[in-house]
């Protein structure tokens, strides 16, 4: 690539998508901003970098066919995802000439979701480097072995299986956007009205709010499980989120507040861990905007541990008055060697407010009654 190259490559619109929606971001509705079937490529000079969660963003200046310079936004996955590819804050710098391939913004928006990026000195990240910007696969190979000693030991509890230790949730991963079964989702009248009233800017994840369950269950980031005696402590890298699963038979207090992760109680049924969660705040079930009532929501989870104790099949069933039938989400976890359990970088909502400002919607979403205190 020539360092003085500053031109737009021909955009390639494909009749059939080469990249499926399963490669889209797990944090919000990719489809609201980008067209999975419209592939594009451009070359430009990096002018601005925002390397923060929930999504890494770059600004590049691109010379159009008529010689004018256009400013494009490049959007990538989260810092946590990119870190797994050794794609860090200093990997791409202001002034670098980059060639980018990815999916184009909807309605002619000058933006691309990065699937591969290469600098003028030959460094590559994303698909062009042999991976994806999401650093996940449909079913990642298990890299652990049964002699690994992955559990954290006993604290006096005699559970059928020791599930303590580090777990990778990339195993059997699917993107948490429109992944719920059965399809089509069967709304109640109230649920449909709510669903049709929301837009992409209502997504709590974009505002850096802890979106908790059930979305946390579906994300691909690593977690650590501790046996704390009266409860399991699930510590997720995603949003550095702690979750307690009470195992001592307790019930919620009469004045128990609602939270993003709710109140969870668990019990072992043979080699299966059963968890029931209530007292959830209202929110979204996924990045598509499917609503969750919160007050009337009850979530059940079953964790089925394999015979070799190296993998877990996880099934979540969501009971909610916004839907006429329960909804399920299926995932997996695997013990893996050399897991990155570093806490996630802080989330920065600056890009979200910049988007609102560009859309002339900032005042609407800063209304203290409708936004700051939902």
DSSP string, 30-81: HHHHEEEEEEEEEEEEEEEEE--BS--EEEEEEE-TTS-EEEEEEE---HHH
pLDDT tens digits, one per residue of 104-160: 988 888 999 998 899 988 888 876 544 444 444 445 667 787 777 788 766 668 899
Q: Is residue 172 part of a domain?
A: yes
Q: Is residue 144 part of a domain?
A: no
- The answer to whether the beta carbons of residues 150 and 162 sit under 8 Å apart is no
Strand segments (E) across the chain:
12-13, 34-50, 57-63, 69-75, 97-105, 111-119, 124-126, 165-167, 223-227, 231-236, 241-246, 263-269, 272-278, 283-284, 291-292, 298-305, 311-319, 327-334
Domain assignment of residue 72, given as a range: 12-129
Give the position of tokens 């970098």.
Answer: 49
Q: Is residue 59 part of a domain?
A: yes
Asked if 115 and 257 sit in the same domain, the reply is no
Among the candidates 85, 111, 129, a domain finishes at 129
Q: Is residue 359 part of a domain?
A: no
The pLDDT score that the predictor gives to residue 251 is 95
Asked if 267 and 203 sit in the same domain, the reply is yes
Asked if 230 and 307 sit in the same domain, the reply is yes
- The answer to whether the beta carbons of residues 205 and 347 sit under 8 Å apart is no
Asked if 27 and 87 sit in the same domain, the reply is yes
- The answer to whether the beta carbons of residues 371 and 362 sit under 8 Å apart is no
Preceding peptide of 54 cis, ω within 30°? yes
Q: Is residue 293 part of a domain?
A: yes
Distance CA 96, CA 16 (A): 32
Asked if 181 and 323 sit in the same domain, the reply is yes
Distance CA 57, CA 51 (A): 6
The pTM score is 0.74
* Res. 5: pLDDT tops 60: no
pLDDT tens digits, one per residue of 204-223: 888 888 779 999 999 888 89
Query: Which own/partner pairs from 89-93 qualify as long-range (CB within 8 Å, at least 24 positions apart)?
Result: 89/49, 89/51, 91/123, 91/125, 92/46, 92/49, 92/58, 92/117, 92/119, 92/125, 93/46, 93/49
Asked if 264 and 314 sit in the same domain, the reply is yes
Phi, psi values for residue 215, rounded to 5°: -70, -35
Among the candidates 129, 144, 174, a domain finishes at 129
Higher pLDDT residue, 138 or 49? 49
Asked if 120 and 264 sit in the same domain, the reply is no
pLDDT tens digits, one per residue of 316-342: 999 999 999 999 999 999 998 777 767
The pLDDT score that the predictor gives to residue 213 is 94
pLDDT tens digits, one per residue of 177-187: 789 999 999 99
The pLDDT score that the predictor gives to residue 1 is 37
pLDDT tens digits, one per residue of 94-104: 999 999 999 99
Q: Is residue 57 part of a domain?
A: yes
Strand, helix or coil at 21? helix
Distance CA 145, CA 112 (A): 40
Asked if 219 and 318 sit in the same domain, the reply is yes
Asked if 204 and 75 sit in the same domain, the reply is no
The pLDDT score that the predictor gives to residue 17 is 28
Phi, psi values for residue 68, rounded to 5°: -75, 155
DSSP one-letter string for 169-186: TTTT---SSS--BSSS--
Asked if 108 and 171 sit in the same domain, the reply is no
Strand, helix or coil at 207? helix
What is the residue-averaged pLDDT of the chain? Answer: 82
* Res. 70: pLDDT tops 60: yes
pLDDT tens digits, one per residue of 54-67: 789 999 999 987 88
DSSP one-letter string for 336-371: -TT---PPPPPB-THHHHHHHHHTT-HHHHT-IIII
Asked if 110 and 171 sit in the same domain, the reply is no
Asked if 171 and 299 sit in the same domain, the reply is yes
Rg for the chain (alpha carbons), in Å? 22
Number of domains, the chain: 2
Which residues is 153 bridged to in the sheet?
none
Domain CATH for 72 = 2.40.50.140
């Amino acid at each position: 690539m020539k360092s003085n190259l500053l031109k737009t490559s021909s955009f390639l619109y494909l009749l059939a998508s080469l990249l499926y929606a399963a490669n889209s971001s797990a944090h919000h509705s990719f489809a609201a901003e980008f067209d999975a079937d419209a592939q594009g490529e451009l070359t430009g000079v990096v002018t601005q970098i925002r390397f923060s969660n929930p999504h890494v963003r770059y600004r590049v200046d691109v010379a159009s066919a008529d010689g004018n310079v256009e400013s494009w936004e490049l959007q990538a996955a989260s810092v946590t995802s990119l870190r797994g590819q050794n794609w860090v804050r200093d990997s791409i710098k202001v002034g670098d000439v980059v060639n980018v391939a990815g999916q184009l913004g909807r309605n002619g928006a000058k933006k691309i979701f990065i699937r591969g990026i290469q600098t003028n000195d030959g460094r590559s990240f994303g698909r062009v480097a042999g991976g994806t910007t999401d650093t996940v696969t449909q079913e990642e190979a298990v890299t652990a072995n049964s002699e690994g000693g992955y559990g954290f030991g006993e604290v006096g509890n005699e559970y059928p299986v020791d599930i303590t230790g580090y777990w990778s949730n990339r195993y059997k991963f699917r993107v948490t956007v429109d992944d719920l079964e059965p399809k089509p989702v069967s709304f109640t009248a109230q649920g449909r009205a709510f669903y049709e009233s929301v837009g992409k800017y209502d997504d709590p994840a974009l505002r850096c709010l802890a979106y908790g369950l059930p979305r946390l269950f579906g994300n691909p980031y690593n977690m650590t499980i501790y046996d704390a005696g009266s409860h399991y402590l699930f510590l997720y890298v995603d949003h550095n989120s702690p979750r307690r699963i009470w195992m001592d038979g307790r019930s919620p207090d009469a004045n128990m507040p609602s939270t993003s992760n709710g109140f969870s109680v668990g019990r072992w049924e043979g080699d299966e861990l059963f968890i029931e969660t209530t007292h959830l705040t209202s929110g979204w079930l996924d990045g598509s905007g499917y609503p969750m009532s919160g007050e009337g929501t009850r979530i059940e989870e079953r964790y089925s541990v394999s015979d070799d104790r190296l993998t877990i099949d996880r099934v979540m069933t969501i009971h909610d008055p916004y839907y006429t039938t329960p909804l399920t989400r299926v995932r997996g976890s695997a013990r893996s060697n050399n897991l990155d359990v570093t806490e996630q970088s802080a989330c920065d909502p600056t890009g979200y407010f910049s988007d609102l400002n560009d859309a002339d919607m900032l005042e609407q979403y800063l209304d203290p009654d409708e936004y700051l205190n939902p």
